[in-house]
Structure 1
Amino acid sequence: MASIQLQEVETRKHECGGFLVGDQWVMTAVHCFLTGANGRKVVLGAHSLTATEETKQTFDILQVYNHPDFNPVNYDNDITLLKLDRPITVTEAVKPIEYQRSGDTDVSPPTGATVETAGWGSVNNLQGRTDRLKEVVMDVVDRELCARYDYYGYKFTANMMCSYKLCPKPCRHRYKTEDSCDGDSGGPLVYEGVAVGITSNGGKKCGQVKKPGIYTIISHYTAWINTTISGSVTPSPPSTSP
């Protein structure tokens, strides 16, 4: 897991998540990097954002590679690669995760499959973020359901999957689902130990029954990932759009 942080006056503020996919590469979401690196740091090996931990490794961002077809209206193609300023030191706390490539149909999660994600995002519906890394186990939601007009409609594309954990009836929990939330963007959706998605977006409020979390399907971008990491793609300039 990566915590992507923006430098403030005396501290750094966690903005988005990400995950290590190579010795010098982190995968995350485009909507976290519309203004480019802008002085952001990548922290790997963290559990607490504020505590001093020997496992932490902090990096500058050398280059940002946003997918050129990102759509800010519906967040289609929400995938970014970050090249770190130096290779990582591999430890038990800092090492790359395998990610799904095209043709890896044996690791594609079917409807109802158990998946998991993690992050330092909000744990109380946009009211505040956690200091310590949290993990949530969820279920893959049927694609046809997520594409229904009362869910996401036309905004849900073939490059997306959706997932959450419904609270079993009778549900006594404050929220009826368990889900990713604000601050979790860019983190991995993991199935059987393989990153298959990138946390992208969801409803205006977290935990809504008809607004499961949306995740970018990584395997749809195998060619772009390969050419980017090989050095055949030009880095992205900062965007002027909000």
Structure 2
Amino acid sequence: MTSLQVAGKHICGGFLISDQWVLSAAHCLGDAGNETLQVLVGAHSLSEAEPNKRLVGVQALFPHPNSSAENNHDDLLLIQLEEKVSTNADVQVLAFQRQDRDVPAGTLCEVAGWGFISNTGRLPDKLHRVELAIIDRATCNTRIHYDGSITEKLMCTESKKKDSCKGDSGGPLVCKGVAEGVVATGSRVCGNWKKPGIYTRIMPYVVWIDSVLAAAHQPTDRPEAAPVP
């Protein structure tokens, strides 16, 4: 897990997919505004001293070219760190799904982050995790939930009393040790069972992820990055 930070404050989650790259959500750039974005790695507590905690600068930002502040589609962001980070017990790379299959309904998956832990808007200092069950896309698309707006590039989890929330965006949805999705959005009131948590599936974007990482290491063929605040 990583914490995306502006002026020392947590705004979004993210996770290492290599020793120099973080995957997060594109809409987090809107939360950053024009402020300098940094990435905290190796942290459990945001405030306490910890042996492997480091704040790392950002070299380049690559929001998905089709992402938009107007909707939840293609809501992914690749962050190239200024330097490679050393992996250890507290700093590890998380594998992501490369096979095109939906996670079966009822599968228990984990979400972690430093997002709100109550609807009073209280942010925790320590990393929290929650176990959530997958809802199949057809159910999530029923009228009581999202009425047909959940595409094949999105997936849903139950949100009855337990849920991801504001500040968890960009963090991974991990099923059986593999990142299947990235926290995108959900109900304005977290824990509302009628509005399940929505996640961007990673697998449909594997080609884009691989191409950005490969091209970034070939200066003559470097993809166009967003300005780094």
Counterpart code for 1:68: P
The correspondence for 1:93, drawn from 90, 94, 104, is 90
Structure 1 residue aligned with 2:219 = none
Q: Give secondary structure in 2 for the equivalent of 1:227.
A: helix
1:215 equivalent to 2:199? Answer yes
Counterpart code for 1:75: N
Structure 1 residue aligned with 2:21 = 25
Cα displacement string for residues 67-119 of structure 1 (whole angstroms, at most 9, x for unaligned residues): 01113333111111000000011111001010111x354xx421111100100
Structure 1 residue aligned with 2:35 = 38
Q: Please tell me the root mean square deviation across aligned C-alpha atoms, in Å.
A: 1.8
Structure 1 residue aligned with 2:10 = 14
The correspondence for 1:131, drawn from 122, 125, 129, is 125
Q: TM-score, normalised by structure 2?
A: 0.91
CA contact (8 A) 1:64 1:82 kept: yes
Structure 2 residue aligned with 1:174 = none
Aligned-pair distance for 1:238? Answer: 7.4
Structure 2 residue aligned with 1:235 = 225
Counterpart code for 2:58: I
CA contact (8 A) 1:74 1:155 kept: no
Unpaired segments of 5 or more residues in structure 1?
167-176
Structure 1 residue aligned with 2:209 = 225
CA contact (8 A) 2:155 2:198 kept: yes
Q: TM-score, normalised by structure 1?
A: 0.87
Measure, in 2, the Cα distance between the counterparts of 1:155 and 1:238.
32
1:196 equivalent to 2:180? Answer yes
Q: Give secondary structure in 2 for the equivalent of 1:46.
A: coil
Aligned-pair distance for 1:125? Answer: 1.8
Measure, in 1, the Cα distance between the counterparts of 2:118 and 2:198.
19
Structure 2 residue aligned with 1:187 = 171
The 1:149–1:72 alpha-carbon spacing in structure 2 relative to 1, beyond 3 Å, is farther
The 1:155–1:84 alpha-carbon spacing in structure 2 relative to 1, beyond 3 Å, is same
Aligned-pair distance for 1:198? Answer: 0.1
CA contact (8 A) 2:155 2:199 kept: yes
Structure 2 residue aligned with 1:83 = 80
Counterpart code for 1:20: L
Measure, in 2, the Cα distance between the counterparts of 1:38 and 1:147.
37
Measure, in 2, the Cα distance between the counterparts of 1:109 and 1:4.
27
Map residues 64-75 of structure 1 onto 2, 5 A cutoff. Answer: 64-75=61-72
Structure 2 residue aligned with 1:155 = 149
The correspondence for 1:141, drawn from 107, 112, 135, is 135
The 1:28–1:229 alpha-carbon spacing in structure 2 relative to 1, beyond 3 Å, is same
Measure, in 2, the Cα distance between the counterparts of 1:195 and 1:201.
17
Aligned-pair distance for 1:153? Answer: 2.1
CA contact (8 A) 2:181 2:199 kept: yes
Structure 1 residue aligned with 2:113 = 119
Cα displacement string for residues 178-201 of structure 1 (whole angstroms, at most 9, x for unaligned residues): 010010000000011000100010
Query: What fraction of aligned residue pairs are identical, expressed as a percent?
Result: 38
